[in-house]
Amino acid sequence: MSEDDRIGLSEPYLAGNARAYLEECLTTNFVSSVGPFVDRFERAFADYVGSRFAIACASGTAALHVAMRLAGVEAGDEVLVPTLTFVASVNPIIYQGATPVLVDAEATTWNADPALIVDELELRARTGRRQPKAVEVVHLLGHPADIVPVAAACDRHGVTLIEDAAEALGARYVGGALDGRHVGTIGKIGCFSFNGNKIITCGAGGMITTDDEALARRAKHLTTQARMPGIEYRHDEVGYNYRLSNLSAALGLSQLEVLGDILARRKQNAARYDRGLAGARGLAPPPRAAWGAPTFWLYTIDVDPAASGTDRTALMARLRERRIEARPIWSPIHTMQPYAGLRAIRGQVAETVFARALSLPSSASLTAAQQDRVLLLLRGE
């Protein structure tokens, strides 16, 4: 088969002003920490998601690490975080010397079960135990997490709410008090990723969003080595080299300008997969809640071994044999060696989702013909 036959999982969709903006960086010689694109990208991003401030970072992981610092997470603290997520949701808690408490998924959205989070906070309040320093909600695969009850419980108990929206740029809430609001703007701090496989890319990059001016200023400070004004290289705390380069921001801004197109394409792809899977026995489309407008960062199906007569691993192998990239969902954190000592609040739902879920090619650039190839193989035709 030719190279053209390969179908990737989630590839960059480079369009619009990408080339012109990168060219401008080269022409002006602003390729590093100086230049106009970081400010422009931050302003455009904040306007798009509807937060007061946006602070660009070197990666989504860096954004989450700074978020932990902003929330005051330190040694001896605990942070509630889903067990069914990418490892970068969890590691920044450990970078701070704090302890993640891993929360099981709910079957309805595959995000952390809000009831388990609320129960944990209420139980701690009743029994006089120390509350976690933060709750980190993850909007997995582009589907908004059921955040209303979690936000209310965090408010009641003075716990900082952080959103890991790395996979979910453009996802919104529908109906109710949050109608139209973007993920990443509900909690105190939101974090996004612009890695190459995410909804938009800077090559590598991330963003912190907040409505709190003091937090925004401190976030900028921490990402730039906590350097004080003046030329003497004085630093008032231990910071990081987590800033985004002008080059990366130029690409990011061009991507933000075509985000509407990217999201429309992903939605159309999802609808086409939905139709193609209707009637396929034991292959269910991704979970969807009525109160969320997901982005289908990954279109991930549930493979029921009994009903489908196959399983996730066999289907994945069938696709990969034909150079179609398909992948399992993230391994639950509590099942991996470096995290084995952590407390998990249940975990069975996450383990079941992991055993059955299969992510299909989901790039914005995916064509109808490519989707047909995937669907034929899935249906065993």
Ligand X SMILES: *Cc1c(COP(=O)(O)O)cnc(C)c1O
**Which of 7, 138 has the CB closer to ligand X?**
138
Nearer to ligand X, 162 or 166 (CB): 166
Residues in 217-236 at the binding interface with ligand X, rule: CB under 6 A: none
Within 121-140, the residues that bind ligand X by CB under 6 A are 138
Q: Does 296 interact with ligand X (rule: CB under 6 A)?
A: no
Other C-beta atoms closer than 10 Å to the C-beta of 281 total 12
Instruction: Give least dist CB 206 to ligand X, A.
Output: 5
By CB under 6 A, the residues from 132 to 191 that bind ligand X are: 138, 164, 166-167
Cβ 167 to ligand X shortest distance, Å:
4
β-pairing, 160-164 vs 327-328, is unpaired
Alpha-carbon distance of 74 to 158, in angstroms, equals 16
99 near ligand X, rule: CB under 6 A: no
Instruction: Rank residues 243 and 308 by Cβ distance to ligand X and give the closer one.
Output: 243
Residue 162 C-beta: closest distance to ligand X, Å: 11
Q: Which of residues 318-357 bind ligand X (CB under 6 A)?
A: none
Q: Count the residues of the shown chain that bind ligand X, applying the rule CB under 6 A.
A: 14
List 10, 83, 89, 255, residue binding ligand X (CB under 6 A): 89
DSSP string, 93-133: HHHTT-EEEEE-B-TTTSSB-HHHHHHHHHHHHHTTPPPPS
Q: Least CB distance from residue 143 to ligand X, whole Å?
A: 12
The secondary structure of 247-301 as a DSSP string is: HHHHHHHHHHHTHHHHHHHHHHHHHHHHHHHTT-TTEEPPP--TTEE---SSEEE
Among 7, 21, 22, 60, binds ligand X (CB under 6 A): 60
Q: Judged by CB, which is closer to ligand X: 131, or 330?
A: 330
Nearest-CB residue for ligand X: 60
| Closest listed residue to residue 169, CA positions, set 243, 266, 53, 90 | 266
| Amino acid occupying residue 132 | P
How far apart (Å, rounded) are the C-alpha atoms in residues 310 and 303? 8
- In angstroms, what is the minimal distance from the CB of 195 to ligand X? 4
Instruction: Show Cβ contacts of residue 214 under 8 Å, excluding neighbours closer than 6 positions.
Output: none
Nearer to ligand X by C-beta: 141 or 375?
141
Of 206 and 294, which has the nearer Cβ to ligand X?
A: 206
The residue among 46 and 66 lying less far from ligand X, judged by its C-beta, is: 66
Strands 134-138 and 160-164: parallel
Intra-chain end-to-end CA distance of the chain, in Å: 19
Task: List all residues 6 or more positions away from 204 whose beta carbon is below 8 Å from its beta carbon.
Answer: 58, 59, 194, 195, 196, 248
Q: Does 86 bind ligand X (CB under 6 A)?
A: yes
Rounded-to-integer distance, Cα 310 and Cα 328, Å:
15
Q: Which residues bind ligand X (CB under 6 A)?
A: 59-61, 85-86, 88-89, 138, 164, 166-167, 193, 195, 206
